[in-house]
Structure 1
Amino acid sequence: VTVLERDLLPAGPEARTGTPHCRQAHTLLKAGLNALLQFFPEFETELELAGAVRARAAIDILVETPGFDPWPRRDFGFDTLCMTRPLVESVARRLVERQGNIALLPQCRVRRLAHSADKSSVSGVYHDEANGQPCRLDADIVIDASSRGNLTLDALHELGLPRPAETEIGVDIGYATAIFDIPPGASREWRGIIHRPDAQSGRGAFLFSVENNRWQISLSGMHGDHPPDDLQGFVAFAKTLRTPTVYEAIKDATMVGVIHRFVFPCSVRRRFEALATFPKGLVPVGDVICRFNPAFGQGMTVAVQQVSVLKTLLDERAGNALPLNDVAPAFFTAIQGVLAAPWGVAESDFMYAKTRGERPVDFQQRLKFGSMLQRVAIEDAAVHKVLTAVNHLLIPPTALREPHIVEKVNALMAVSN
């Protein structure tokens, strides 16, 4: 396996230009951590040794949502780890580099995909080496994890094949993220705060304890209402949130470094599964297929889950001596279950009046059901546990449609009406 990476890879947990969103707060959901442990059993231990902060789900992470500020604290038996994105990358990269059959080549910029003479398959990549020398690398199978997906889309055009249809949810969300030293007298009742925005303001926040005894805090605003990148404005923006929790935490804290901003225009889902023909030897993954509003913290986890699906399919082919280069159609079909839950969450952005895109026909009913479901979960610890597992992508959202849960939601709806 040869991995071509455009950036000069740092030795430790440092931000790099190839991941412009890496300075913003990130979450590795429990399902994402579980999937990574399948590849690297020591991953969780290595993260903690590198400084990641262990937090008990629904206890150490304070969750504030409109009407429920905060949610009750309940122990559902699993932990999450809080850390910066560069720390996750650094640990993952170190573990990959220990694999004897993987060559990691930095400062190699892939220009385009190579294809067979009959244009039926992708056969490698054209790239520039670290010294600028153009080169071709042949491969049995090419995995496009280049985020925006231009390599795959350009290859389809070059091969005379149609692009996949795209569904967009225009959110125009802007982030500003700062690092603060944790003050000596800071609250020890929580290790993180998730402040979900309401439909009127669209302003939200994340605060996580991260490595080096610091807080990483991301403030966000929808549809052009973006937080500023100066300390005074940053703190003032935090003061406008629905609750004072984040503001009270940072108002007297010392900021480290500068504030970094990031703008995310839209969630995008490409319907590769609907294509009648797709070139052999090529498999796009991650954001190439589907990217979500980062406010929901699903991106890293969904990417790892996709790779887990791909591993299963490749293992099956290797065991049965089947060719590896025809795996893409089966992969596109198999990941639809992985994408369904996070895309359903992304569609909740239609609660904002300015969100662009085609709203699902049943959106209002879903919104009402979700609101009542939260009210049930507040009172019923068992339902709260299921909801938490769904939010961590551990179980499918269909678990929330079990008859005993729907019955409780419908009963509350009847009373509310």
Structure 2
Amino acid sequence: MSDVTKTRAVVLGGSIAGLFAARVLADAYDEVQIIDRDKLIGVAGPRRNCPQGKHINGLLARGQQVMEEFYPGITKEIFADGVPTGDLCGDVRWYFNGVRLQQQAAGLTCVSASRPMLEKHIRRRTAALPNVVFVEEHDILGLTTTPDKGTVTGVRVQAHGQKRERAIDADLVVDATGRGSRSPVWLEELGYGRVEEESKKVGLGYVTQHYRLKADPYGHDLSINPVANAKLPRGAIFTKTDGGRVELTAYGILGDHPPTDQQGFYDFVKTLAAPEIWEALQHAEPLDEPVAFRFPTTLRRRYEKLDRLPGGLLVVGDAVTCFNPVYAQGMTVSALSALTIRNHLHSGAAPQPKLYFEDLARNVIDLAWEMTNIIDLSFPGVEGERTREVKMAQKFLKLVQIAATRDKKVAAAYMRTAGLIERPESLQKPAFIARVLWNALRGPAKKTPAPALVPIIPVETWSTEKKAA
């Protein structure tokens, strides 16, 4: 940069991954600029260039913990804005292999916010940082580098409606532009070779719709989640969310997708393992039209395997790894990626990209990627190598899920690993394995009927009746 007394980091993309990255960079740089194609400040609804914004986006318990560490008090602020909450195990009705799991509080805070609501709060807290600047409605054209291409020195951008591009100098550039990231192309053009990629065709498709309920299927629960399995590759997340609404995302694997016509969508929902969802929809007011999203393949970019990398460039979030969204790992891994950046901001020096990517792969992505890989490969139609280790892990996971239909402690421990609070090794302790086997060998618990629907009396009706009494 021209002014050697000032340091600047530039974040490409104002997504949640970009906001988390900007938060940690703000502690180390004099200025942090966030560049995005969309208008960001003051936006409350789904953003144009964030198609996932119209669908359920889950923040796992570990993600909530990191978010709270970055922005102390933000969780309470979100709840105060009308977002319901509960415990991932104690207040969520899970169905695995068609059978309901036991429920027990496991210390796993759910933030049942819609994607726009969550973005709004994280963006507001990030914008409040005095050294963070939002550069809105700009296209990102490419990187600038030193003459020897050994260090990234900034980014070329173009404001919407303008013909001339301009360069923004930076001591560090962080790419948070998502799956469509151009970093692999840029690196290859700069002579650093091709970034190795791993992908798996899962053929996922889902449809989302919001409702106002007239009959309550939840009781004290926050969400009802039947999970797809090999015999029925269909599932759903049916959750209370902000604005007094409920949000339903129904999904299918390997091309078995929900239709978007209203009756067809209802018919699809009727086949799910949780019949109370379909029953509740018979007493619900749709607030919007069913909206579809397709996710054909998972994707992992192995930056850590490149022999060399330029200084001054890091990549985070979906721009590194796109997980199967059914498992809701994306935002939490983005939060952990920002933590990894923070760990590499040593005494004001720019992070070394090679060390960062190796650390990110080893301590963040490997674990989440392997967890989802084991589950994805449990569907016979998903192509991929089913090693002996994968098959053993699948068998043990099936035993844990069966045991969790009988034993609350097993269910809680399982959900703590799913929430990325505990590592899978926590399920390998001898006492826990014995507990799993004792319950699993008895077979799944008998299916328990869902609570009866309870009519919801509108507040104005309740008030009138009370006055009349």
TM-score by length of 2: 0.83
Matches of 1:198 and 1:368, distance apart in 2: 14
Match of 2:132 among 96, 102, 120: 102
1:297-337: per-residue Cα shift (whole Å, max 9, x none)?
111111111111111221x332xxxx30x422222122222
Verify the 8 A CA contact 1:302 1:339 in the aligned structure 2: yes
Q: Residue 355 of structure 1: SS of its match in structure 2?
A: coil
Match of 1:71 among 77, 95, 101: 101
Q: Residue 150 of structure 1: SS of its match in structure 2?
A: coil
Alignment of 1:333 onto 2:395: no
Aligned twin of 2:68: 37
Alignment of 1:381 onto 2:408: yes
Verify the 8 A CA contact 2:156 2:167 in the aligned structure 1: yes
Matches of 2:395 and 2:262, distance apart in 1: 38
Q: Residue 278 of structure 1: SS of its match in structure 2?
A: coil
Matches of 2:155 and 2:41, distance apart in 1: 24
Matches of 1:23 and 1:376, distance apart in 2: 35
Q: Residue 377 of structure 2: SS of its match in structure 1?
A: helix
**What does 1:151-162 align with in structure 2 at a 5 Å threshold?**
151-162=182-193
Q: Residue 55 of structure 2: SS of its match in structure 1?
A: coil
Verify the 8 A CA contact 2:235 2:250 in the aligned structure 1: yes
Matches of 1:57 and 1:414, distance apart in 2: 26
377-386 vs 264-273, greater mean Cα deviation: 377-386
Aligned twin of 1:345: 371
Aligned twin of 2:339: 308
Verify the 8 A CA contact 1:113 1:151 in the aligned structure 2: no
Matches of 1:395 and 1:10, distance apart in 2: 36
Aligned twin of 1:398: 425
Question: What is the letter of the counterpart of residue 363 of structure 2?
Answer: G
Question: What is the letter of the counterpart of residue 115 of structure 1?
Answer: T
Q: Residue 294 of structure 2: SS of its match in structure 1?
A: strand
Matches of 1:160 and 1:3, distance apart in 2: 27
Structure 1 residue 403, shift from structure 2 partner: 2.9
For structure 2, which runs of at least 5 residues remain unmatched after alignment? Answer: 1-31, 444-469
Matches of 2:442 and 2:75, distance apart in 1: 46
Verify the 8 A CA contact 1:369 1:409 in the aligned structure 2: no
Alignment of 1:59 onto 2:90: yes
**What does 1:234-273 align with in structure 2 at a 5 Å threshold?**
234-273=265-304
Verify the 8 A CA contact 2:103 2:411 in the aligned structure 1: no
1:94-122: per-residue Cα shift (whole Å, max 9, x none)?
11110000001110110111121101121
Verify the 8 A CA contact 2:234 2:253 in the aligned structure 1: yes
> Which has the higher Rg, Structure 1 or Structure 2?
2
- CA separation of 1:163 and 1:355: change in aligned 2, threshold 3 A: same
**What does 1:150-299 align with in structure 2 at a 5 Å threshold?**
150-183=181-214, 185-299=216-330
Matches of 1:363 and 1:219, distance apart in 2: 27
TM-score by length of 1: 0.93
Question: What is the letter of the counterpart of residue 63 of structure 1?
Answer: W
356-365 vs 97-106, greater mean Cα deviation: 356-365
Matches of 1:170 and 1:401, distance apart in 2: 30
Structure 1 residue 34, shift from structure 2 partner: 0.7
Structure 1 residue 203, shift from structure 2 partner: 0.7
Structure 1 residue 363, shift from structure 2 partner: 2.3
Q: Residue 288 of structure 2: SS of its match in structure 1?
A: strand
Structure 1 residue 412, shift from structure 2 partner: 7.0
Alignment of 1:369 onto 2:376: no
Q: Residue 396 of structure 2: SS of its match in structure 1?
A: helix
Structure 1 residue 221, shift from structure 2 partner: 0.9
Q: CA RMSD in A?
A: 2.0
Structure 1 residue 158, shift from structure 2 partner: 1.4
Structure 1 residue 219, shift from structure 2 partner: 0.6
Structure 1 residue 260, shift from structure 2 partner: 0.9
1:321-354: per-residue Cα shift (whole Å, max 9, x none)?
xx30x42222212222211332123211112222
Verify the 8 A CA contact 1:83 1:208 in the aligned structure 2: no
Question: What is the letter of the counterpart of residue 64 of structure 1?
Answer: Y
Verify the 8 A CA contact 1:341 1:393 in the aligned structure 2: no
Q: Residue 351 of structure 1: SS of its match in structure 2?
A: coil
- CA separation of 1:275 and 1:119: change in aligned 2, threshold 3 A: same
Structure 1 residue 356, shift from structure 2 partner: 2.8
Structure 1 residue 84, shift from structure 2 partner: 0.5
Verify the 8 A CA contact 2:94 2:101 in the aligned structure 1: yes
Matches of 1:403 and 1:157, distance apart in 2: 48
Aligned twin of 2:381: 354
Verify the 8 A CA contact 2:407 2:439 in the aligned structure 1: no
Matches of 2:441 and 2:277, distance apart in 1: 36
1:56-78: per-residue Cα shift (whole Å, max 9, x none)?
222221111105x2111212234
1:257-298: per-residue Cα shift (whole Å, max 9, x none)?
111110001111122122221111000011111110101111
Verify the 8 A CA contact 1:267 1:346 in the aligned structure 2: no
Matches of 2:108 and 2:254, distance apart in 1: 35
Identity of aligned residues (%): 27
Alignment of 1:50 onto 2:84: no
Question: What is the letter of the counterpart of residue 366 of structure 1?
Answer: A
Verify the 8 A CA contact 1:168 1:357 in the aligned structure 2: no
Matches of 2:194 and 2:93, distance apart in 1: 43
For structure 1, which runs of at least 5 residues remain unmatched after alignment? Answer: none
Q: Residue 432 of structure 2: SS of its match in structure 1?
A: helix
**What does 1:62-141 align with in structure 2 at a 5 Å threshold?**
62-67=93-98, 69-132=99-162, 133-141=164-172
Question: What is the letter of the counterpart of residue 365 of structure 2?
Answer: L
Question: What is the letter of the counterpart of residue 272 of structure 2?
Answer: L
- CA separation of 1:388 and 1:168: change in aligned 2, threshold 3 A: same
- CA separation of 1:415 and 1:59: change in aligned 2, threshold 3 A: closer
